[in-house]
Amino acid sequence: MDYEITPEEVKMKLGRDDNFLLLDVREPWELERSYIDGAKLMPMGEVAARAHQELDPEDHIVVICHRGVRSMSVTAWLRQQGFEKAQSMRGGIDAWSRTVDASVPLY
């Protein structure tokens, strides 16, 4: 499984009701500005402390952030921890807003 998934692929998975977790690693103030419905908030600084208690290593996890940098770091860390189906959404919520859903505000 690739380390990255495109926003368009994520939209298709949502449309098919595929079973996966959308993990938002941005800060709470960022979530207040824009979000994707159904995403679980776990700020990047809390992932190491919370991942093994709240996430299932067998699940497909799509990690999102603002532009894709934090989500790639978290994805790499999750993979090292045995979460082999973790992927980063390329371009983050910014790319989602620009290519998939213009109703999600840019910031």
Phi, psi values for residue 18, rounded to 5° = -60, 150
Q: Are 38 and 21 in contact (CB under 8 A)?
A: no
Q: Per the residue annotation, which of 36, 44, 64, 65 is the catalytic one?
A: 65
Spatial separation of the C-alpha atoms in residues 57 and 18, rounded to whole Å: 17
Please confirm, yes or no, whether 65 is among the known catalytic residues. yes
Catalytic residues, by residue number, are: 65
